[in-house]
A and B are shown apart, each in its own frame.
Chain A
Amino acid sequence: GQQLNQSPQSMFIQEGEDVSMNCTSSSIFNTWLWYKQEPGEGPVLLIALYKAGELTSNGRLTAQFGITRKDSFLNISASIPSDVGIYFCAGQLKGGNKLTFGTGTQLKVEL
């Protein structure tokens, strides 16, 4: 099935640093979602974006819905050890419920 291109594939950063990851698609999506998945668990929704250009924050997380509707990025400010995990973007088409997932970004935080 189709997947979204997500980068970077993995990141190894120091505690306190800011993190940025992005997701691009050849298709236009009407909704962009960002999830975090920890080992052995299902994904947990972090941020949902519904309008092109929308910038939404959730604590230290900020995500933006690209103007072209073909991309989105996620920023994590002042990272902490519990931020480790795999972050997935997901796109949703207009009128549909299916999600197309990105390839994932694995985040590792060094103390």
Chain B
Amino acid sequence: GAVVSQHPSWVICKSGTSVKIECRSLDFQATTMFWYRQFPKQSLMLMATSNEGSKATYEQGVEKDKFLINHASLTLSTLTVTSAHPEDSSFYICSAIWTGDNTEAFFGQGTRLTVV
């Protein structure tokens, strides 16, 4: 199957700093990637749709100025959590859409962000 790599796997940062998370499709090109947030023992909640070469589309309630998304190439999308606060601590997961005979979503391994 297609491989999506997310980096870093975990990060600890101080309040007020910014953190960048990368999502790469390693063996396919993805014009669309998605960013999710997951709290402990809860499901994945879609934050935004990342479109290569255009602005990201954010879900209702997600602050676009706080969660900056850049999809500059067909294999890389980045999520930057700006001015992080402890309540931003969460598990962030990306997925990339593979379009073949059928459309499938493949997920990265996730990034555990802890803001102290």
Chain A residues within 8 Å of B, Cβ to Cβ: 1, 3, 31, 33, 35, 40-45, 48, 50, 88, 90, 92, 97-104, 106
Contact = CB atoms under 8 A, between A and B. Distances in A.
Given A42-B6, A42-B93, A45-B1, A99 B105 contact: yes
A45 B60 CA distance: 26
Nearest to A44: B107
Contacts of A103: 43
Given A1-B59, A1-B60, A97 B97 contact: yes
B67 interface: no
Contacts of A31: 102-103
B102 A48 contact: yes
Contacts of A98: 34, 46, 49
Given A42-B110, A104-B43, 14 more contacts: A1-B46, A1-B59, A3-B43, A31-B102, A40-B91, A40-B112, A41-B110, A45-B105, A48-B102, A88-B44, A92-B103, A97-B34, A99-B105, A101-B45
Contacts of B106: 45
Nearest to A95: B103
Q: Is the interface of A mostly helix, strand, loop or mixed?
A: strand
A31 B1 CA distance: 18
Contacts of B49: 97-98
Nearest to B99: A97
Contact of A43 (B41, B44, B59): B44
Contacts of A42: 4, 6, 93, 95, 107-110
B104 interface: yes
B25 interface: no
Contacts of A92: 103
A29 to B, nearest CB: 13
Nearest to B32: A97
Contacts of B91: 40
Interface in B59-85: 59-60
A101 B43 contact: yes
Interface in B30-65: 32, 34, 41-46, 49, 59-60
